Amino acid sequence: MKIFGLIAVLVVGALLLSATSDFPDWRDKDSPANESPVSSFYIEKTEKLTKVPNMVTAVLADYRSYDTMFETVVIFIAGIGIIAVLRNFDGPNSSSIKRENNDEGGGLLARFTCSLILPFIQIFALYVVAHGHHSPGGGFQGGVMLGASYILAALAFGLSKAKDIFSERRTMIFAAVGIFIYVGWGVLCLLFGKEFLNYEALDPILPGDAKMARSHSMLIVEIGVAFTVTAIMFSMYSNLSTRGRLSKGL
Amino acid sequence: MIWQFDIIILIFLVIAAIISLRLKDLLGASMVFGIYSFLICLLWAEMGAVDVAFTEAAVGAGVSTVIMIATVFSTKRRSKD
Amino acid sequence: MDPIIATFIEENIVPNFNYWIYVILMMIGLYAMITKNNLIKKLIGMAIFQTAIILFYVSVGVKDAANIPIISHHGSEHHQMTDLSSETDSTKEIHNTIDKDKYANPLPHVLMLTAIVVGVSTLGLALAISQKIYKSFGTLEEDEILNKLRPGGHD
């Protein structure tokens, strides 16, 4: 078995290595990918048309917003899939037992340090979400950081304490609300008489001109993405670390 | 876009990938995989892809490593190969 | 370093080095996915394979002496404010046009941003399934699972 695998891998690798000599040079600014009209359009016109200096966020949330919408749906479905595969509803009612032996979570030093650092992590995550179209960041990064802050709380203070803040029911409601914000914003564009997710339609209800409407809409959409990603990351951790029982963390 | 950094990080990347696949201790393998993710995050910051580097630092090095370690703790720690 | 060696490396190794490493990482990931016996090791191989593909895409979008794909308008605004009086409309137009060679290609970055986030959700789902397999079979080794699935195998 091993030798066949090695032969297959070597054949594939040799073919690909022989193909690399035909690639354009690394850092070549005249290569076909960098000369293509699509990326030239994004670089030259994005700031004029949307008033967003970060091209990556603009392309992610505006030009390719269908892609991002269904990617958020993929994350949501993955979270539901983990619950469907792993969640174990029968078994002892853990919440009453858990309160008595309070030995999970870290020691005194870990608890104290985490209680100091958690607010800053969460504020920075919100900043990353809100400032994503002027600096690196956006809904995915900020959402993952916010989810990671709850994971840190679960590691330091125990999963039951984190569950008090962010219960399973609340997690799934958050995840659904994120997608609802995203899709609802697209439907709002339909109601104003333009295409689905064409943000210029929302000019009458948003401050600024039509270009600023696109910029503001990106913020709303990123907030929706951040809701879903936060909830699913925390749900993923809490299910995987307890084998679906949600009773005792790491 | 300094090619010296690029070459050094790429060599470390291959070393980290091989170590994480050769370790028999799955906890160690997950930790080395976290190191691999951080190295590739550095590589993307070096290539000018700051958004991708940010995502990789949060997702690849943060959450992936944590959920992998969570799985190793709730299953078996030793691996045969 | 000796300047002759440095120029040799810069002309012959550097233009293709990223692509070579992408192929090598892909081979490592594929080998691990095919031959490793442990399911967690297979998943690590899958993640390495995935980062190799992302490395290829991001390498394609790099330009020499280019900035990150965020337009910095503070500098130009300041410049415009200082000599606003002497500037005619035509020179303003030149300041406002963006040179596309100055910024890295944003399109591969966007595509790979989505790939990373989808990658972690597939990894989480795969880890959940392997935990379920461990619960059913008591092991994560592929050959032991196959032994138990065989009709003659115990359990």
Rounded to whole angstroms, the Cα distance separating A62 from A210 reads 13
Rounded to whole angstroms, the Cα distance separating A88 from A65 reads 36
- Check residue A158 and give left, alpha or beta (phi > 0: left; psi -120 to 50: alpha): left
Residue numbers in B near C130 (CB within 8 A): 71, 75
Is the pLDDT at B34 greater than 50? The verdict is yes
Q: Shortest CB distance from A237 goes to which of B51, B55, B67? A: B67
Chain mean position to CA A242:
23
DSSP code per residue over A124-138: HHHHHHHTTTTSS--
User: Looking at residue A144, what is its pLDDT?
Assistant: 92
Q: Shortest CB distance from A71 goes to which of C34, C69, C118? A: C118
Rounded to whole angstroms, the Cα distance separating A182 from A62 reads 12
pLDDT, tens digit, for every residue of C6-41? Answer: 888 888 888 888 889 999 999 999 999 999 899 999
Cβ–Cβ below 8 Å for B67 and A242:
no
Residue numbers in C near A6 (CB within 8 A): 31, 35
- At C154, is the pLDDT very low, low, confident or very high (cuts 50, 70, 90)? low
How many domains does the structure of chain B reveal? Answer: 1
Residues 6+ apart with CB under 8 A from A206: A212, A213, A216, A217
Name the minimum distance, in Å, from the CA of C102 to any CA of chain A: 9
Average pLDDT, chain C: 82
Residues 6+ apart with CB under 8 A from A13: C23, C24, C26, C27
Question: Which of C22, C64, C116 to mutate to test binding with chain B, by most B CBs within 10 Å of its CB?
Answer: C116
Is the pLDDT at C152 greater than 80? The verdict is no
CB B2 within 8 A of CB B32: no
Note whether residue B8 is domain-resident: yes
Could you tell me the CATH number of the domain that includes residue C14?
A: 1.10.287.3510
Note whether residue B38 is domain-resident: yes
Adjacent-strand bridge partners of B30:
none
User: Looking at residue B19, what is its pLDDT?
Assistant: 92
**Closest residue of chain B to C35, computed from CA coordinates:** B81
Is the pLDDT at B59 greater than 80? The verdict is yes
User: Looking at residue A122, what is its pLDDT?
Assistant: 93
CB A204 within 8 A of CB A189: no
Average pLDDT for residues B56-75, to the nearest whole number? 89
User: Looking at residue C87, what is its pLDDT?
Assistant: 47
Cβ–Cβ below 8 Å for A5 and C135:
no
Residue B45 three-state SS: helix
Note whether residue C87 is domain-resident: no
Contacting partners of chain A (3+ CB pairs under 8 A): B, C
Adjacent-strand bridge partners of C103:
C67
- Which residue range(s) make up the domain with C128? 3-64+101-149
Rounded to whole angstroms, the Cα distance separating C54 from B26 reads 25
Rounded to whole angstroms, the Cα distance separating A105 from A71 reads 34
Note whether residue B55 is domain-resident: yes
Would you state the structure tokens that stand for residue A14, as one six-digit string? 């040799």
User: Looking at residue A43, what is its pLDDT?
Assistant: 87
Cβ–Cβ below 8 Å for B67 and A243:
no
- Check residue C64 and give left, alpha or beta (phi > 0: left; psi -120 to 50: alpha): beta
User: Looking at residue B12, what is its pLDDT?
Assistant: 92
- At B81, is the pLDDT very low, low, confident or very high (cuts 50, 70, 90)? confident
Note whether residue C34 is domain-resident: yes
Note whether residue C10 is domain-resident: yes
Rounded to whole angstroms, the Cα distance separating A140 from B15 reads 29
User: Looking at residue C85, what is its pLDDT?
Assistant: 47
- At C153, is the pLDDT very low, low, confident or very high (cuts 50, 70, 90)? low
Note whether residue B17 is domain-resident: yes
Note whether residue B20 is domain-resident: yes
Note whether residue C69 is domain-resident: no
Question: Which of A233, A235, A245 to mutate to test binding with chain B, by most B CBs within 10 Å of its CB?
Answer: A233
Give the ipTM of the model, two decimals please.
Answer: 0.92
User: Looking at residue A6, what is its pLDDT?
Assistant: 92
Cβ–Cβ below 8 Å for B50 and A136:
yes
DSSP code per residue over C12-49: IIHHHHHHHHHHHHHHHHHHHHHH--BHHHHHHHHHHH
Cβ–Cβ below 8 Å for C18 and B52:
no
Is the pLDDT at C82 greater than 50? The verdict is no
Would you state the structure tokens that stand for residue C114, as one six-digit string? 């989505």
Residue-level pLDDT, tens digit, chain A, 250 residues: 789 989 999 999 999 999 888 888 888 888 888 888 888 888 888 888 888 888 889 999 889 899 999 999 999 999 999 999 988 876 655 554 444 455 567 788 988 999 999 999 999 999 999 988 888 888 899 999 999 999 998 888 888 888 888 888 999 999 999 999 999 999 999 999 888 888 888 888 888 888 888 889 999 999 999 999 999 999 999 888 888 777 766 6
Contacting partners of chain C (3+ CB pairs under 8 A): A, B
User: Looking at residue C155, what is its pLDDT?
Assistant: 56
Note whether residue B80 is domain-resident: no
**Long-range contacts, C135-141 (Cβ 8 Å, 24+):** C135/A243, C139/B76, C140/B75, C140/B76, C140/B79, C140/C38, C140/C39, C140/C40, C141/B79, C141/B80, C141/C37, C141/C38, C141/C39
Cβ–Cβ below 8 Å for C123 and B81:
no
Burial of C63 (0-12, 13-18, 19+ CB in 10 A): buried
User: Looking at residue A44, what is its pLDDT?
Assistant: 87
Adjacent-strand bridge partners of B25:
B78
> Cα–Cα–Cα angle for A66, A34, C15, nearest 5°?
130
Note whether residue B45 is domain-resident: yes
CB A34 within 8 A of CB C105: yes
- Which residue range(s) make up the domain with B59? 3-74
Chain mean position to CA A141:
6
Note whether residue C95 is domain-resident: no
Cβ–Cβ below 8 Å for B7 and C134:
no
Note whether residue C78 is domain-resident: no
Would you state the structure tokens that stand for residue A84, as one six-digit string? 């469907």
How many domains does the structure of chain C reveal? Answer: 1
CB crowding B29-48: b at 16 or more within 10 Å, else e: bbbbbbbbbbbbbbbbbbbb
CB B74 within 8 A of CB A241: yes
Cβ–Cβ below 8 Å for C25 and B14:
yes
Q: Does the beta carbon of C119 lie under 8 angstroms from any beta carbon of chain A?
A: no
Cβ–Cβ below 8 Å for A9 and C72:
no
Q: Shortest CB distance from A239 goes to which of C34, C98, C128? A: C128
Adjacent-strand bridge partners of C38:
C141
User: Looking at residue C3, what is its pLDDT?
Assistant: 83
B58 residue type, one letter: A
Residue numbers in A near C23 (CB within 8 A): 13, 16-17, 20
Note whether residue C93 is domain-resident: no
Rounded to whole angstroms, the Cα distance separating C102 from C82 reads 24
Residue B36 three-state SS: helix
Q: Does the beta carbon of A134 lie under 8 angstroms from any beta carbon of chain B?
A: no
Note whether residue B67 is domain-resident: yes
DSSP code per residue over C110-124: HHHHHHHHHHHHHHH
